[in-house]
Amino acid sequence: KNEVEQSPQNLTAQEGEFITINCSYSVGISALHWLQQHPGGGIVSLFMLSSGKKKHGRLIATINIQEKHSSLHITASHPRDSAVYICAVETSGSRLTFGEGTQLTVNP
């Protein structure tokens, strides 16, 4: 079993829909990161969480430390949100362990 599990693996939505991507982990962590990867390969950090909830524009990230679970929400989705979203947990020595990623496609 992977230390970081994401669901769903693939997600197709219509423009405007509310989207949720889930991440569960099985190890002790110091922080959890949500990342966005575009087709060219570059990765952008969306959030770093150690507790509670963060919001940036149409993106919301939550984490429940006791349940070892985090969610990334996208409100009013848009085709430009189409990308791979990756959950990564930070453990000792600032190392990151990555989930498999969720391929999101938002259709106009």
By CB under 8 A, name the binding residues for another protein: 30-31, 33, 35, 40-45, 48, 50, 86, 88, 90, 93-96, 98-101
CB of 101 to another protein, least distance (A): 6
Q: Please check whether residue 32 is in contact with residue 22, taking contact to mean a CB–CB distance below 8 angstroms.
A: no
CB of 98 to another protein, least distance (A): 4
3-state secondary structure of 54: strand
CB atoms within 10 A of CB 66: 5
CB of 24 to another protein, least distance (A): 15
Phi then psi for residue 103, to 5 deg, are -85, 115
* Nearest to another protein of 63, 99 (CB atom): 99
Distance CA 15, CA 12 (A): 10
* Nearest to another protein of 31, 65 (CB atom): 31
Distance CA 79, CA 105 (A): 7
**Residue 69 identity:** H
CB of 73 to another protein, least distance (A): 19
* Nearest to another protein of 35, 83 (CB atom): 35
